[in-house]
Amino acid sequence: ETGVTQTPRHLVMGMTNKKSLKCEQHLGHNAMYWYKQSAKKPLELMFVYSLEERVENNSVPSRFSPECPNSSHLFLHLHTLQPEDSALYLCASSQDAGEGSNEQFFGPGTRLTVL
């Protein structure tokens, strides 16, 4: 148990559906991250939030919409996804986004399948 939880663990959705992924961290961290893990590809950083403010968006399509209502919770809202968006979506947190404190703690991930 890393202190970072994600729900749901598995999600199957059609291309016209709207769904949300949830991440919660119980570590008192100030920075949270969304990653995409696809087969045979490096982990891709999608979004970074520091103190509830988005600080990075790595050119992610607008069909992915993050929300960070407070430092403990992070959401990823999904709509009109494509089959190639099927992947494992990982949430992580770190103490902050500052120098020397950026060991990341990962959640178990949500396995997303888009039909």
Residue ranges that bind another protein, judged by CB under 8 A: 2, 4, 31, 33, 40-43, 45, 48, 50, 55-56, 90, 92, 94, 97-109
Q: Which is nearer to another protein, 71 or 94 (CB)?
A: 94
Strands (E), the chain: 4-7, 10-13, 18-25, 31-37, 44-50, 53-57, 64-70, 73-79, 87-94, 105-106, 110-114
Q: How far is the CB of 27 from another protein (least distance, A)?
A: 13
| Cβ contact 109:55 at 8 Å | no
Q: Which of 26, 13, 27 is nearest to 77 (CA)?
A: 13
Q: How far is the CB of 77 from another protein (least distance, A)?
A: 22
Q: Which is nearer to another protein, 84 or 99 (CB)?
A: 99
Q: Which is nearer to another protein, 5 or 72 (CB)?
A: 5
Q: Which is nearer to another protein, 84 or 103 (CB)?
A: 103
Q: How far is the CB of 26 from another protein (least distance, A)?
A: 14
Q: How far is the CB of 16 from another protein (least distance, A)?
A: 31
**CA distances for 112 relative to 7, 81, 103, angstroms:** 11, 10, 26
